[in-house]
Amino acid sequence: MIMKKSTFNLEKKLKKQGYRIIIGVDEAGRGPLAGPVTAAAVAVRNFQFSIFNFQSNPNDKISNDKKWDLIRDSKKLSEKQREKLFDFIHENFYVGVGMCDHKTIDHINILQASLLAMKKAVANLLKANLSESNSESEFDSDASRCIILVDGNKKIPKLNLEQQAIVGGDEKVKSISAASIVAKVTRDRLMRKWHKKYPQYGFAKHKGYVTEFHLEKLKKFGPSSIHRLSFRPVREAAKQGTRSKNIG
């Protein structure tokens, strides 16, 4: 089976249409029972050169070509591959990250929390780079030359920028693929930190997603302070009356 590769084809097309800032956005963590939902927004640096000639370092053509080619839907990569690409993406893209914690997810639901995390990621990306004073910054305040490419079938609410929702965008559009990797690695690293506080749940291994092991430990110990109480398996465990001893 031949795996489809994401490309810069859409970014090239939009660039030719006059867009200066083309931002890919994706999230990680909609399905887990614990932890935040995390989003990333990225825009490739030196766009006019990068899309036609991937190698940013002429002395490292093979290595960088492979890294650019490897940027695809984070779910199609191993954890080791994602970690290796994380720094490469930060070197070659402008990056912004946004999160909504478990409490926000319980309050407004996971869909709205995911969209809010995306909005935060875009805001953080623009804020960080609009403040740059050096002449090399590609960012300016002209919103008409900016477009957001969002993975999925929904646009980000209350965002005064042009958007395009793309179903399966993380598999097709290179900028969205890069965003999916940043979001996934950022969230996974955070869940490994939570594992140190709550080792009994195995967060370092499953990152809060539904696994047989996670469900068994959830039933045994009850929810921790970062579990999503609005998710049914967590609610059911909370009803057993064991939640209080795991909050801290």
Q: How far apart are CA 20 and CA 143, in angstroms?
A: 9
pTM for the model: 0.88
Q: How far apart are CA 66 and CA 5, in angstroms?
A: 12
Q: Give residue 72's pLDDT.
A: 92
Of 101, 79, 78, give the one whose Cα is nearest residue 194.
101
210, with CB counted inside 10 A (0-12, 13-18, 19+), is middle
Q: Give residue 45's pLDDT.
A: 87
Tell me the two tokens of residue 148.
Answer: 């957001």
Distance of CA 41 to the CA centre of its chain: 7
Question: Taking the domains of the chain in order of start, what are their residue ranges?
Answer: 9-195, 197-246
Pairing of the two strands 37-44 and 162-166: unpaired
- Taking only the tens of pLDDT, the chain with its 248 residues reads 445 789 999 999 999 999 989 999 999 999 999 999 999 999 998 765 444 444 444 444 446 778 999 999 999 999 999 999 999 999 999 999 999 999 999 999 999 999 999 999 999 999 877 555 344 556 655 666 899 999 999 999 999 999 999 999 999 999 999 999 999 999 999 999 999 999 999 999 999 999 999 999 999 999 999 999 999 999 999 887 654 455 44
Of 19, 15, 83, 32, give the one whose Cα is nearest residue 215.
32
- Collect all residues with Cβ–Cβ distance below 8 Å to 138 and sequence separation of at least 6: 20, 21, 43, 45, 46, 47, 94, 129
**Structurally, what CATH architecture does the domain formed by 9-195 represent?**
2-Layer Sandwich (3.30)
Of 166, 163, 187, give the one whose Cα is nearest residue 176.
166
Q: Give residue 205's pLDDT.
A: 97
Q: How far apart are CA 131 and CA 117, in angstroms?
A: 21
Q: Give residue 64's pLDDT.
A: 74
- Asked if residue 119 lies in contact with residue 101, where contact means CB atoms within 8 angstroms, the answer is no
